[in-house]
Amino acid sequence: MTDPIRIRARSKGDLTEVLVLMPHPMETGLRKDAAGALVEAHFITDVRVTTGGRTVLDARMSIAVSQDPLLGFRFRGGRPGDRISVTWTDNKGETRTDETVIA
C-alpha cells in the first residue's frame, strides 16, 4: 500500500491555499530496470479534491507527471475547520483517499 497523501490547506481570507503530495512511483512503462527489463507502467490517472460535498479540483494525469505528484491550487469559500479530501486512482485501479482540516 502506498503512503498517505499529504495535504496542507490554509485559509487566507476568502481563499484557501492547498498543496497536495501523493506518494506514488508514477512509472512510465518506458523505463528499464537494472536487468534491462521494462518496468510496468504504474501511474495515477485521476485525482479529485473535494470539500463540503463539492469538487474544488480534478486532474487527469499522464505518465508525464513526476514521481510523487505535487499539486498546488487555491479556491474560494473554504473555512478553517472544514474537511478537505483528496482521492487518487491509478492505472491499475488502485485508489487512495486521505483528508485533512483546513487550517
Partner 1 sequence: MCGWSVMRAEPGRSPVSRGRRSLLKHGGALALLAACGLVEARRAYARDGVAMFDATTMREVLARLGGEPAADGKVVLVIDEVIENGGMVPVSVECRLDAVEEILLIVEGNPAPVAVRFGIPAGTEPFVSTRLKLAQSGRVHAVARANGRLHVASRDTQVTVGACS
Point out which residues bind partner 1 (CB under 8 A).
15, 28, 30-31, 54-67, 69-77
Nearest to partner 1 of 6, 74 (CB atom):
74
In the complex, the smallest distance separating the C-beta of residue 69 from partner 1, rounded to whole angstroms, is: 7
Q: Which three cell numbers stand for residue 8?
A: 496542507
Closest CA to 86 of 58, 44, 67, 60: 58
Q: How far is the CB of 90 from partner 1 (least distance, A)?
A: 14
Specify the pairing of strand 83-90 against strand 70-76. Answer: unpaired
- Identify which of residues 62 and 97 has a Cβ nearer to partner 1 in the complex: 62
Grid coordinates in use for 50?
A: 473535494
Q: How far is the CB of 89 from partner 1 (least distance, A)?
A: 13
Q: Enter the DSSP assignment of 31.
A: -
